[in-house]
Structure 1
Amino acid sequence: MTTAASTQLQRTLTRELPQHEGQTVKLLGFLHARRDLGGVQFLVLRDRSGLAQGVGAGLDLPLPESSIEVIGKVKAHAKAPGGYEVQVESLRVLTPAVEPPPVEIPKMEWNVNPETLLDYRVVTVRGLKERAALKVQAELVAAFRDHLTAEGFTEISTPKIVSAGAEGGANLFPIDYFGHPAYLAQSPQLYKQIMVGVFERVFEVAPVYRAEEHATSRHLNEYLSLDVEMGFIESEEDVMDLETRVLAAIMARLKERAQPELALLGAALPEVPAHIPRITLLEARQLVTEKYGHAVGGKDLDPEAERLLSQHYAETQGTDFVFVTKYPRAARPFYTHADHNADGSLNPDLTRGFDLLFRGIEITSGGQRIHEYPMLQDSIAEYRLNPESLAGYTEVFKYGMPPHGGFAIGAERLTAKLLGISNVRYARAFPRDRHRLTP
């Protein structure tokens, strides 16, 4: 039942308690923790802004995680969270928990069995570190949006049910679309290129789907992709310069708006240099082989080579970032533009594609795209793709598409590396990996 005192008081958030010392306040939140010391009860209330300790006598404390209302007087207390506690005058249970939580939320740590935390994610996501990571990611995404909007970009929304993959290959989730074959989109790539012909500069924040048989701490099968595409560029250098500015804006916003969360997680933000160093893939492979004795096989850098290359730049240039450029054609999608030789002719073996490494892991793929219709048709043929399935995309290149390029950042992977989270699944509220469809 609502009391007269409850209706007369406006809600106070726990972070606002210092402003109300000596005053009676009303707190709303969850019963984070409780202790009963005979005639005296201690409780910790959790709301969206933090924690507050309450102390009272004769309180009938419900089970942890119950939704509660607390009314009491604010008093300075050095050992209480935030330096203040509430001397409880009334405690009202809004919605009682019907059973104890499966995990003690105040005692959760990421180094316990990850499957346990993920199996009970509907509750464990309430943990202070869990929600801090998601709060940081929310600010990261907001900074991404705000900075691109300020640079003249328009946010778009593209289909997530598609008739063909943007990158080819078999890593597509098939679905039945009213009796017709369709797929979950592995990237908005083709659509954001089309929209360059509309707005010149576009971005999207949306999930993408990869049916890859990974079961590692760095992969998800559904993740939040931060996609950018811009027209009228000179080369992929313009795209890398843009991403550098975006990253600087993200770090500035996190420094301004996420300090409590960063402090809780013990995370240190990186400095984004005005010019992130760049190294070609061939030079990168040679460097890690000659300096660290690590032989790199395949057409890309393996995870150990990424780690060693990042270590080199951290030690020699003091930066956590490095662009790896000039990827071979075999390692890039069909729409990636070929590189040019010194005489201006096209080099069919190299592309203007790049990756960005951050603290030992790739967080971005990007590059300049093919914008000329004949070249695009030739590339589709060379990649042995079905031109009919891509006709809706290639049509726009008959009508004067400008030189353009872009990149995509995996939000969860960037969040995890920023915060020192060892498993990328903890950087998503409800992760989807090879073995997980719930909760």
Structure 2
Amino acid sequence: IEINTPKIVATGTEGGTDLFPIAYFGKEAFMNQSPQLFKQLVAGGGIERVFEIGPIFRAEEHNTTRHLNEATSIDFEAAFIDHEMAMEVAEDIISIAYHSVSENCPQQLHTLSLDGLSIPETPFPRISYDSAIEIANGSSDLSEPLEWGDDLSTQAERIIGSTMATHYFITDWPSEIKPFYIQNHDESPEISKGFDLMHPSMELVSGGQREHRYDSLIDALQNQGLNPIDFEFYVDMFRYGMPPHSGWGMGADRLVMSMLQLDNVREVVLFPRDRNRLAP
């Protein structure tokens, strides 16, 4: 079922970082970074499989060919599935998108010199975070070695993507660099059940299995320096029981950019918004 979640919120999905504050009748409010918390509440509240296609807003100062401050996100959330099943849904969506464009847009593809659009084969390869670090550190092109717990730099992503040469998943990320709502492995709590789906040149999807146990969720919030009181509307539902659930968010603009082999995400957005552009 398609849902529409608020874009004006009282707190950020991952705390107070990268938020656009707005004036809201004397109250503190922000433009939403993601529908994450809301789609979890809906999926756990009886509508078991939901999706949303809508805008997200991030006050990041990145000025790159892959980042915008207002972007379109494709979000999916479902109850009673684990992170492996969520990955299967994500790769199916990518495959369907490529097939649909290939079959229905031959004239537009010809204009872009993309006759015979290359469709990635499923299932996509899966590598662990540890393997990704090993691949990156094994390249002489990496300017600074990565340590366990580091996020992947753009340079590292390109090295790994060059090695993989197709869409692929990175799994088993360190819990410390994944959001509080991602569940960790019980036997190895330092490793999360989060994943990223990568195009050889960039990240397209981030997701994972969600922490549905109330006490563990409170611990995760506090471990990341967040106050559970600020997320009261969210954590209250977990107090009374939430089913296991998983999901992801996909950058629609990046999906089109990578599919059409374009150099800049601004080429696929009608009126892009970045740190320098506010009009038209």
TM-score w.r.t. structure 2 length?
A: 0.94
1:339 and 2:190 aligned: no
Higher relative contact order (CA 8 A, sep 6+): 2
Distance 1:221 1:293 in 2: 30
Distance 2:16 2:125 in 1: 31
Q: Which moved more, 1:209-218 or 1:381-390?
A: 381-390
Following superposition, the deviation at residue 209 of structure 1 comes to 0.3
| Letter matched to residue 357 of structure 1 | M
Distance 1:281 1:176 in 2: 41
1:310 and 2:161 aligned: yes
Aligned match of 1:284 in 132, 149, 159? Answer: 132
Deviations 1:329-353 (A, max 9, x none): 121111110024xxxx3x2211011
Distance 2:240 2:77 in 1: 18
Contact 1:338 1:352 in 2 (8 A): yes
Following superposition, the deviation at residue 245 of structure 1 comes to 1.2
Contact 2:55 2:72 in 1 (8 A): yes
| Letter matched to residue 47 of structure 2 | F
Aligned match of 1:367 in 208, 220, 223? Answer: 208
1:227 and 2:75 aligned: yes
Distance 2:60 2:141 in 1: 30
Deviations 1:227-272 (A, max 9, x none): 0011101x31111111111111111111111111111112353323
Q: Which residue does 1:192 correspond to in 2?
A: 39
Contact 2:174 2:190 in 1 (8 A): yes
Structure 2 gap ranges (5+): none
Distance 1:292 1:238 in 2: 36
Contact 2:139 2:159 in 1 (8 A): no
| Letter matched to residue 266 of structure 2 | R
Aligned match of 1:417 in 241, 246, 258? Answer: 258
Distance 1:244 1:264 in 2: 27
Distance 1:164 1:269 in 2: 42
1:349 and 2:194 aligned: no
Distance 1:201 1:270 in 2: 30
- Relative to its length, the structure with more strand (as a share) is 1
Q: Cα 1:270–1:195, aligned 2, differ >3 Å: closer, same or farther?
A: farther
Distance 1:361 1:196 in 2: 29
Q: Which residue does 2:146 correspond to in 1?
A: 296
Distance 1:172 1:302 in 2: 22
1:242 and 2:89 aligned: yes
Contact 1:266 1:419 in 2 (8 A): no
Deviations 1:17-38 (A, max 9, x none): xxxxxxxxxxxxxxxxxxxxxx
Aligned match of 1:209 in 44, 57, 69? Answer: 57
Contact 1:292 1:308 in 2 (8 A): no
Contact 2:205 2:251 in 1 (8 A): yes
Distance 1:258 1:403 in 2: 39
Distance 1:247 1:420 in 2: 15
Following superposition, the deviation at residue 291 of structure 1 comes to 4.5
Would you identify which runs of 4 or more consecutive aligned residues in structure 1 move more than 4 Å?
A: none
| 1:155 match: secondary structure | coil
| Letter matched to residue 210 of structure 2 | R
Contact 1:244 1:272 in 2 (8 A): no
TM-score w.r.t. structure 1 length?
A: 0.61
Contact 2:210 2:244 in 1 (8 A): yes
Following superposition, the deviation at residue 359 of structure 1 comes to 2.6
| Letter matched to residue 5 of structure 2 | T
Following superposition, the deviation at residue 396 of structure 1 comes to 1.2
| Letter matched to residue 277 of structure 2 | R
Distance 2:275 2:167 in 1: 29
Q: Which residue does 2:28 correspond to in 1?
A: 181
Q: Which residue does 1:158 correspond to in 2?
A: 5
Aligned match of 1:321 in 155, 167, 172? Answer: 167
